[in-house]
Amino acid sequence: MIEIVNVSKWYGDIKVLDNVNETIKKGQVVVICGPSGSGKSTLLKTLNGLEPFQEGDIQVDGISFSDPKTDFMKLRQKMGMVFQRFELYPHMKVIENITIAPVKVLKQDKSRANKKAMALLERVGIPEQADKYPGNLSGGQQQRVAIARALAMEPDIMLFDEPTSALDPEMIKEVLDVMVDLAKSGMTMAVVTHEMGFAKEVADEIIFMDEGRIIERGTDKSFFENPKSERAKDFLRKILI
């Protein structure tokens, strides 16, 4: 479904992605972890074209990013994204946050979009917040709205960029529960996170990045129990205290 082939990216002289290769198959959940500045968020954002890269290629459903005819607007409609800082539209109500893309991008009928948005809010457990503004919601609620907003486009792939890093500890679980649910429903997911509990529960593969390179990869068990690289051992020691 997603094929990353020899991708490298520079910011000026600094190489932020160094020859990255990875395949994400349909229905797979891939967790990307690593220390900050390791390039994991940058890698995630290359997947839907938010971050350009200089070398290599990415293919999503056979559509190559290096093809100048590739329509990223079209591609992104099928790839939902959830951000660390939620990025809900503060000037719109929760329900409008969810319906605006289906209505304006997919030209869906407004009442149909509303109905679907309510069903999604139900699914993430906060239908009663529909008519509030994002600023009046807790962080955990906002992030759940953000997930509903992405799901409203009926994406085939969901990208999560540290979805729980900006949350108070007591709100992390409510967001992770929604993500676990989503993973179990068969959604293809790429998740940048340090939540190793989540990784253990649903990840099909974990990749560990450092200095723009994938230095270790494995299924959950092999990665947690027996990391090969010193860097990964060190990292796991620090976050699993």
Partner 1 sequence: MNFEWQVITHNFTFLMGGLVTTFELALIAIAGGLALGILVGMARLSNIKAIYYPATLFVNLMRTQPLILVIFWFYFFMPLVLGRPIGDFMSASIAFIIFEASYFAEIMRAGIQSISKGQVEAAYSTGFTYWQTMRYFIIPQALRNMLPSLITQGVVVFQDTSLAYVIGLREFLRSANVVDAREMRSVELYLFVGLVYFMVCFSMSRVCKRMELKKGNA
Q: Which position among 74, 110, 237, 238 is part of the footprint of partner 1 (CB under 8 A)?
A: 74
On the 0-12 / 13-18 / 19+ scale of CB atoms within 10 A, 158 is buried
Residue 135 within binding range of partner 1, rule CB under 8 A: yes
Q: Judged by CB under 8 A, which stretch of 32-40, 84-92, 188-196, 226-234 contacts partner 1?
A: 84-92
- Residue from 6, 21, 37, 105 touching partner 1 (CB under 8 A): that is 105
Q: Read out DSSP for 39-61? A: SHHHHHHHTTTSS--SEEEEEET
Does position 45 bind partner 1 by CB under 8 A?
yes
Q: How many residues does the chain have?
A: 241
Smaller CB distance to partner 1: residue 48 or 188? 48
Angle at alpha carbon of residue 11, lines to 6 and 161, rounded to 5°: 70
Is residue 85 involved in binding partner 1 (CB under 8 A)?
yes
The verdict on 144 binding partner 1 (CB under 8 A) reads no
CA-wise closest residue to 198 among 230, 223, 169, 172: 172
Question: Which amino acid, 194?
Answer: H
Residue 69 or 225 with smaller CB distance to partner 1: 69
Give the residue with the Cβ less far from partner 1, 30 or 148.
Answer: 148
Q: Examine residue 149 and tell whether it contacts partner 1 (CB under 8 A).
A: yes
**Could you say which of 50, 63, 166, 180 contacts partner 1 (CB under 8 A)?**
50
CB-wise, 105 or 239, nearer to partner 1? 105
- Find out whether 56 and 7 touch, Cβ atoms under 8 Å: yes
Comparison of 89 and 234: residue with beta carbon closer to partner 1: 89
> Does residue 100 bind partner 1 (CB under 8 A)?
yes
Regarding 89 and contact with partner 1 (CB under 8 A), the answer is yes
Helix (H, G, I), strand (E, B) or coil at 73: helix
For partner 1 (CB under 8 A), the number of binding residues is: 28
Distance from the Cα of residue 206 to its chain's centroid: 14
Least separation in angstroms between CB 24 and partner 1:
17
Instruction: Identify the residue among 7, 94, 95, 101 touching partner 1 (CB under 8 A).
Output: 101
What is residue 80's three-state secondary structure?
Answer: strand
Residue type, 237: R
Instruction: Give the angle 60-198-134 at the CA atoms, nearest 5°.
Output: 80
Pull the structure tokens for residue 23.
């395949």
Structure tokens at 15: 């190489």
What's the N-to-C CA distance of the chain in angstroms?
35
Which of the ranges 89-97, 110-118, 176-184, 185-193 carries the binding residues for partner 1, by CB under 8 A?
A: 89-97
* Residues at the site binding partner 1, with contacts judged by CB under 8 A: 45, 48, 50, 73-74, 76-77, 79-81, 83, 85, 87-91, 100-101, 104-106, 135, 146, 149-150, 153, 159
